Amino acid sequence: MNALNDPIFLAAVALLAPIGAALLLVVLPFVRHRGAPAAGLCIFGSVLALAAAVKLLFVHHELGDARFAVTWISAVSKPIAEIGLFVDGTSSSMLAVVCLVALCVQVFSVAYMHDEPPRGYGRYFAYHAFFLFSMNAFVLAPNLLQAFAGWELVGLTSYLLIGFYFAKPSAAKAAVKAFWMTKLADMGFLFGLLWLFVATGGFEWTAKLDPTVAVGVTLLLFLAVVGKSAQFPLHIWLPDAMEGPTPVSALLHAATMVAAGVFLIVRADPLFVQAATTQTIMLWIGAFTAVFAACLALVQRDIKKVLAYSTCSQLGYMVAALGAGSAFAGYFHLGTHAFFKALLFLAAGSVIHAVHSNDLADMGGLRKKMPLTTLTFVIGALSLAGIPGLAGFFSKDLVLASLEGRFGWVPWGMLMFSAFLTAFYMGRVLCLAFFGNLSHKAEHAHEAPLSMSGPLIVLAVPSVVAGFFGSTLAHAVGGHYEAHFVGLTPIVASAMALAGLLASIAVYGRNRDARVAGAIEGLDRASAVDRLWELGYRRALLGVSSVLGWIDRYVIDGLMNFTGYTTIEAGAAVRGAQTGRMRHYLVAVVLGAVLVAVMGLVA
């Protein structure tokens, strides 16, 4: 078979091109330290990956699914783990989305990051290449074990990317927070994995499980998703993670890292459909997060934080749809959201680059200075708001339709309300940043260079038209979908979107002092959750650490010093101290041995 028509070959290229670039950057410091060649190498790897991924879409369309796996670790009797590539409609389409967004982000970064010193610049692109590899390894995983490995690597590289400005304390802190919140949740993944293996003897996506085991395993996996996909109550790391470079936010917090959680559920759908309890929990958590995060997005002053909370909210939509048992709805929304949210983040990055501030108060009237950025941002915002005809409309409609009639229409109502809020906060950003009078800082703003606006245009296209490929996607993943504009859900959803936009124009359109906004500020208290977590995890970890450090330093050493000072003459203090300490050690050994012996007797 011609290699270019071999799905496995293409998938392998998509997987290995980025890691090849990353490894070259690691072993060739002189390339990395020069900056620009590093960016070139990274982007070259991504172009290869994207080309392979796009070709793979067509090949998959013709040839269907393909699976390639080699025994990774064999037990005595049968292979317990395989490594390989699994190409089906879901993974091939996700692969294409991930590669496209990653490439756009990398190209955008070339100009965005050009003030970095060359070393930092090279390091940045090395991280990017490594991240793309991790993500692709996750997406193409033929079983949960490889997915877990990819998942962990995604977590690790996202930590590096979010904390890229490590010299800035808030960025370092945000990276640590993101890492720990997701890490906490990852324990669920590992535990689910262990349970799955013990129950079935393998790590298959499609294992058949007992009802209780199914609920247990899927709940544990869902815990990991709650962390990675920033669902309530583990969502708090996402807004903080905006400390990273803006293109990183576009990559991680739109299309890849946070989407990995949702993708995991889509992938493991055969497991989740066996656990109705888990799905119900997912539905409610998703719906609640959608509303809750949308409320918080209303009151943010930082343009990136609006987008961050918006991402939480939209991920809530996806999780709710998955909870309603409609994996395709969730996956479709994942795909369209990846495009328009990446677009919004990059456009926001372009604005921040021009204004040198994240604060909406420093922006205003940018449409005159940055017409192209404004146009693309508007497209992204309208798509996100769910204006009929744009990509976001179709997928959001499908999510909402999947909830029709469930639980007395309550979740449906929540998401409808959230749709209104979504349109409202995006309208608010549009009014404050792009329309109205020019603010002081915005006076010197100018349109971004082509290398930055190019990716915006590229992403704007699918943000508009991706919705029309719904049936193609459905066909590829083995489902059925037909777009429709008439019916209860589409009409109410469209009305909500329009109402939200109009309301925001009414509030923010003319006067920017925003009296009504003051009333909404109260919602900011909702971030009490954030503080609670902060208190919990920081106090717990740092508290334990400092208490033990104190014990180590003062109790153990202190006892010894105390003995030293009180029992012997000065000068022999150190020797006396050793005796004291040694005695303690011996006491511990004796007590330990006695304890162990007693344990034996009791047992």
Partner 1 sequence: MSSWVHLLSLDLAVVGLAALVMLLDALASLRGRTIGALVVAGLVGVLIASFQIDVTGTTPHGAYVSDAWVLFFKRIFLCAAILGVLGSIEWLDRHAPKRQAEYYALLLFSLVGMLLLPGARDWVLLVVAFELMGVPLYVLAAYAKNDTTPGEPKLAAEAALKLFVTGAASSAFTFFGLALLVGLSGSTSIAQGAQMSPLATVGLMLVIAGFGFKLGAVPFHFWVPDTYQGAPTPFVAFLSVAPKAGGLAALSVILMSTGWVGAKELWAPAIVVISIASMAVGNLFALPQTDARRLLGFSGIAQIGYVLIALAAATEQGLAMALFFIAAYVFTNLGLFLVVHAAAQDMGGHGIAEMSGLSRRSPWLGGALLVFLLSLAGIPFVIGFWAKLFVFLEAYRAGLVVPVIVGIVLAVVGLFYYLSVARQTFMAEGKSDEKIHAGAPLSAAIAVCLLAVVVLGLWPGPLVESANAAAAAFLGGR
Q: How far is the CB of 31 from partner 1 (least distance, A)?
A: 13
Please identify, using beta-carbon distances, which residue of 72 and 417 lies nearer to partner 1.
Answer: 72
Please identify, using beta-carbon distances, which residue of 491 and 593 lies nearer to partner 1.
Answer: 593
Enumerate residues 6+ apart whose C-beta is below 8 A from 16.
133
Look up residue 25 and give its two tokens: 């950057």
Buried b (16+ CB within 10 A) or exposed e, 72-86: eeeeeeeebbbbbbb
Write out 456-491 in H/E/C secondary structure: HHHHHHHHHHHHHHHHHHHHHCCCCCCCCCCCHHHH
In the list 29, 211, 371, 478, the residue contacting partner 1 (rule: CB under 8 A) is 29
**572 is a contact residue toward partner 1 (CB under 8 A):** no
In the list 44, 195, 205, 284, the residue contacting partner 1 (rule: CB under 8 A) is 195
Binding mask 528-557 for partner 1 (x = CB under 8 A): -------------x--xxx-xxx-xx----
Please identify, using beta-carbon distances, which residue of 408 and 600 lies nearer to partner 1.
Answer: 600
Q: How far is the CB of 236 from partner 1 (least distance, A)?
A: 17
**465 is a contact residue toward partner 1 (CB under 8 A):** no
Contact 330/89 with Cβ under 8 angstroms? no
Write out 200-269 in H/E/C secondary structure: HCCCCCCCCCCHHHHHHHHHHHHHHHHHHCCCCCCCCHHHHHHHCCHHHHHHHHHHCHHHHHHHHHHHCH
Residues 124-163 touching partner 1, rule: CB under 8 A, are 148-150, 152-153, 156
Please identify, using beta-carbon distances, which residue of 43 and 175 lies nearer to partner 1.
Answer: 175
Contact 326/292 with Cβ under 8 angstroms? no
Buried b (16+ CB within 10 A) or exposed e, 35-60: bebbbebbbbbbebbbbbbbbbbebb
Residues 268-297 touching partner 1, rule: CB under 8 A, are none
> Distance between CA 310 and CA 381 in Å, rounded?
11
Q: How far is the CB of 254 from partner 1 (least distance, A)?
A: 24
Q: How far is the CB of 429 from partner 1 (least distance, A)?
A: 34
Q: How far is the CB of 55 from partner 1 (least distance, A)?
A: 27
User: Among 300, 306, 499, which residue's Cα sits nearest to residue 386?
Assistant: 499
Please identify, using beta-carbon distances, which residue of 532 and 597 lies nearer to partner 1.
Answer: 597
Which 8-state DSSP code applies to residue 449? P
Please identify, using beta-carbon distances, which residue of 180 and 407 lies nearer to partner 1.
Answer: 180
In the list 63, 194, 465, 491, the residue contacting partner 1 (rule: CB under 8 A) is 194
Return the ∠ at Cα 60 (arms to 54 and 66), rounded to 5°. 120
Binding mask 57-96 for partner 1 (x = CB under 8 A): --------------xxxxxx--------------------
Binding site for partner 1 (CB under 8 A): 26, 29, 71-76, 148-150, 152-153, 156, 166-167, 179-180, 183-184, 187, 190-191, 194-195, 197-198, 541, 544-546, 548-550, 552-553, 578, 582, 584-586, 588-593, 595-597, 599-601, 603
